[in-house]
Amino acid sequence: MSVKFGTSGLRGLSTELVGSVSALYATAFARHMLDSGALQTGSPVVIGRDFRPSSPEIAGTIMAAVKRLGLEPIDCGTIPTPALALYGASIGAAGIMVTGSHIPADRNGIKFYRPDGEINKSDEDAITRLASELKDSAQANMVDAGGGANHEADTTKLFVDRNLGVLPAGSLAGKRIGIYQHSSVARDMLVTVFEHFGATVFPLGRSEQFIPVDTEAVSPDTVTQLARWTDELALDAVLSTDGDGDRPLVADEHGMPLRGDLLGLVTARFLGAAVVATPVTSNSGLEQDGGFSVRRTRVGSPYVIAAMEEALASGELRVIGFEANGGLMLGSDFSIGETLIKALPTRDSFLPALAVLGTAAQRGLSLSALVNDFNLPVALSDRLENYASERSASLMAHLRGSRQQLETFLSPIGTVETVIDIDGLRVTLTDGRVIHFRPSGNAPEMRCYVEAADADSAAALLKQGLSLLASWSI
C-alpha cells in the first residue's frame, strides 16, 4: 500500500483508494477524533467529493465506515472543498473530502477536517499510526456502500452567500468574464457568484470527463485555449479552479494566467492584512511590498495554517495565508464594508478571484495593467511528470551532499550565491536570479520554480532548470 499524506491530504492511486484502504483511513480518522474528544458518539461528519470517476465509491465507503463507529455521515455531494469546510465549521462537524485536487484521474485523495478546521501534521501522524494498528482488522477494512442525509443544497447556499458579500453590488458590471468549467466542482457556483456582481458570464469548456487542471503549472494547451477564448469573445478575464475548487485560476484579457502568489498579494491589500503566511516558493517580492509582515513556511497548507495559528497566538490580527498555487486561507475574521467574512483556514479559490477582479475594476485597470502595477520579479514554475520518487530523492541527496556538488550541477546556469533549504533547495545566483528545485509532495513529479528580472530571462532559466532535472539519473 503506497498511499500517504502529502502537502494536503492523503494521496494514492485510485485503484488503491477504492475499497478497503479508504475504509481503513476513514476508520482511523474517526477513531482519532473520538479518542481526542473532538467528536462524540452521534457527532456529524460532513462528506464531499469531486467529479473523479472513483470519488463516489470512495465517498460511499467512507460514509459506511464512520457510521460503524457511531458517527452520523452527512452527504454534501459534489462541492468545493472550502464549501465543505465552511459548512462543517458552521454546524460543528468534522469533514472528509474525497479529491485528488489537480492530479490526474488515475489518482485520488482524501482530505480530513476537524470541527475547527484542517487536520495538522500531528493529526496526520496519529491517523497514520492508527491505520497501521488497524490494518489487520476486518471491521476497519470492511467495504460497504454507505450513505447519509443529503445537505448539498445547504452547503452550496452557505458558501455562495458568503461570497456574495465580498464586493459591492454591480461592481463588475460591464465586465465580460469566461468561466472555464471543465470538471471543477466549483463550475456552477462561479457562474452564480460573478453574474451576481453584474458581469456578463460565458461558461466555457464544460466536460463530463475529468480534466486535471494545475493552477500552479498551467499546461501550454490550456494557455492556448484561454487565449483563444479571450480573443474570440473579447473577454476581460477567464476564471477557473482545480478539480476540488480550492485553487484559483485567473487569466487576464489575453488569456495569460496570473501567478497565484500575485493573487495572494492583491488579496492581502484588498483585505488590509497585517500578517501573511506563505511558503518559500512564493514570489520573493512579497517582502518588498511593505504593507504586511511575511512568515515563510514549507510547502503545504498544514504548514501555512500552523504559521497563521502562531501569529494569532502571539496577538496578531488580520492574518491570512496563501500558497503559490493561489489557494487563500483566512486565519482571522475580516470586515469588508458592512460585511463580516469569517475566518476559513483552508484553501479557497473564490475570495482571491473576487479580490483581483474587484481591485482591477475599482482602479479602472485591465488585469494585465494591474499585474504591471505591482512590478514583482517575473516568477515562473513548471514540473516534470512521472519523475519517480526514488529519482527525485537521489537528486536532492546529491545536491545537499556538498556545496561543490550543487555548484557543479548548476554551473551551466550560473554561480551560486545563497541557498535556502526550507522545502527543496532555493538558490539565489550571483546575478540575482532564483531557481528552486522541489519534489512534489502529492505525486511523482519534480517541480522547478524560477525568478528573474524579465519574462524572457525567467523563461530561459525555467527551460534550463527543467533540462537539468531531466538529465539526472540515479
Indicate which residues carry an active-site annotation.
Answer: 101
C-alpha 170/C-alpha 362 separation (Å) is 11
Q: How many CB atoms are closer than 10 A to CB 271?
A: 21
Residue listed under C-alpha cell 472528509: 96
Distance CA 116, CA 305 (A): 12
How far apart, in whole angstroms, are the C-alpha atoms of residue 383 and residue 131? 32
Contact call for residues 240 and 179 (beta carbons, < 8 A): yes
The three three-digit cell numbers of residue 99, written as one number: 479529491
Q: Is 255 left (phi over 0), alpha (psi -120 to 50) or beta?
A: left
User: How far is the C-alpha of 413 from the C-alpha of 465, rounded, in Å?
Assistant: 8
Decide if 360 contacts 239 (C-beta within 8 A).
Answer: no
For 302, the grid coordinates are 498544514
Instruction: Report the candidate in 99, 405, 32, 137 with the shortest Cα–Cα distance to residue 243.
Output: 99
Q: Which long-range contacts (CB under 8 A, 24 or more apart) does 53-60 make?
A: 53/14, 53/105, 53/210, 54/14, 54/17, 54/18, 54/105, 54/108, 55/98, 55/99, 55/108, 57/18, 57/145, 58/17, 58/18, 58/22, 58/98, 58/108, 58/110, 59/98, 60/144, 60/145, 60/146, 60/147
Residues 395, 119: Cα–Cα separation, whole Å: 31
Distance CA 427, CA 327 (A): 24
Q: Which residues contact 236 (CB under 8 A, 6 or more apart)?
A: 175, 176, 177, 253, 366, 367
Residue with cell 493529526: 123
- Taking the C-alpha atoms of residue 194 and residue 198, their distance in angstroms, rounded to an integer, is 7
Whether 118 and 85 have beta carbons less than 8 Å apart is answered as: yes
CA distance 150 to 166: 28
Of 319, 350, 270, the C-alpha closest to 86 is 350
DSSP for residue 252:
-
Count the helix, strand and coil residues of the chain and give each as a percent rounded to the nearest 5.
40, 25, 35
